[in-house]
Amino acid sequence: EQLPLPAYVNGELPPCPTMAPEVGENTDQVMTEVLGKSADDIAALRAGGAFG
């Protein structure tokens, strides 16, 4: 027997999948929110070629 589609979890549809971010799309957000870097720190890293 096959499961009915779409599959419901706890009576709700699972969230729609989203596309993965592009390379570098979230760099500034990760650097500030996760690593605690300032805008000046990020600018210096970017100027030094740290992000390609």
* pLDDT range class, residue 31, cuts 50, 70, 90: very high
Burial string for 9-48 (b: 16+ CB within 10 Å, else e) reads: eeeeeeeeeeeeeeeeeebeeebeeeeebeeeebeeeeee
31 domain-assigned: yes
Residue 38 in domain: yes
Q: Kindly state whether residue 48 falls inside one of the protein's structural domains.
A: yes
Please report whether residue 44 resides in a domain: yes
pLDDT category at 28 given cuts 50, 70, 90 is: very high
In a domain, 47, yes or no: yes
Domain that holds residue 38: 25-52
**Domain count for the chain:** 1
Q: Is residue 17 part of a domain?
A: no
pTM above the 0.75 mark? no
Spatial contact of 18 and 46, defined as CB atoms under 8 Å apart = no
8 within a domain of the structure (yes/no): no
Tell me whether residue 46 is in a domain. yes
Residue 9 has φ and ψ, to the nearest 5°, of -120, 120
